[in-house]
Amino acid sequence: MKYIKTLVEPPIAILKIDRETHLNALNIDVIQQLSAELDILESLEGVRVVIIIGAGNKAFVAGADIKEFANYSIEQGEDLSKRGQDALFNKIENFKKPIIAAINGYALGGGLELALSCHMRVASENAKMGLPECSLGLIPGYGGTQRLVRTIGRTHATEMILTSRVINVDFAEKIGLINVKSSQEELLKTAKKLATSCVNNSPKSLETAIKCINKNFDKSGLIFEQKEFGQLFGTSEFAEGVSAFLEKRKPNY
Ligand code: COA
């Protein structure tokens, strides 16, 4: 199954995550395909900026695929986090060209973590953002505990993670989670406008600036998060959280 649609409109490339029936949830195939497309775009000289968007008008990405990891062991949980971070989230953050997330609806869990890995974020008025992993008996495992704090600061990040609160676009703009807000119809246009503001700059300067911006990001936090994320797969609270999601009910902890 092909989950990524790539549209190259030099100097911009658009990657669309196309798994609308599951609100574009990130299963292993989506992650691998997105990673492979990024490798191609990084070497395409005509492409200067990449935009990532979700298919449809309901979700950017509604998280990691809960059904896929529902029965994972501790080792598989840690591996899921490690592989995902290596293959995609860290790759995006350290990409040589700017990547913009166009958040066109739900950006929850791994979806928000994906957007946080991107260098900039634009969001439509219907966007809803949050890290609800603690409501599932987990924690963010694709860098969310590190990148959200770094992006919006400890006060709001801690509240968002500990409460699983889902926020709207106005609040996201207020706390600096997104760069630009847009109507749903104009989202891609808004993302392209931001992309165009970068494309006349020196590609080598953009690459170097990204490298320097990321320089002080302590990678040990990401590795610590992977291990802690994995441990939670061995708990009865994880089993309850995931069962509750699958049975479409509230968990009872
Ligand atoms: N993983 C796997 N499947 C998911 C998913 C995810 N993260 N998010 C949504 N889906 C699936 C649903 O299970 C449903 O599939 P089904 O029709 O086979 O039951 C389909 O996508 C549509 O979602 P649904 O829940 O029916 O839409 P909704 O409008 O009622 O609710 C959300 C939308 C985003 C609020 C809800 O889907 C949700 O809470 N998703 C999980 C968010 C989350 O916890 N993400 C973090 C994961 S670590």
pLDDT tens-digit series, residues 190-217? 999 999 999 999 999 999 999 999 998 8
Q: What separation in Å is there between the alpha carbon of 66 and the centre of ligand 1?
A: 8
pLDDT tens-digit series, residues 25-70? 999 999 999 999 999 999 999 999 999 999 999 999 999 999 999 9
Number of the ligand 1 atom closest to the C-alpha atom of 59 = 34
Residue nearest to atom 16 of ligand 1 (CA): 22
Distance CA 62, CA 128 (A): 10
Residue 113 near residue 101 (C-beta atoms within 8 A): no
Whole-number pLDDT of residue 5: 98
Mean pLDDT score of the chain, rounded to an integer? 97
Give pLDDT < 70 ranges for the chain: none
Q: What separation in Å is there between the alpha carbon of 234 and the centre of ligand 1?
A: 23
Residue nearest to atom 8 of ligand 1 (CA): 62
Distance CA 157, CA 147 (A): 9
137 in ligand 1 pocket by Cβ < 6 Å? no
Amino acid at 117: S
Whole-number pLDDT of residue 218: 84
Residue 122 near residue 180 (C-beta atoms within 8 A): yes
Q: Which residues are catalytic?
A: 113, 133
Nearest residue to 100 via CA among 59, 48, 51: 51
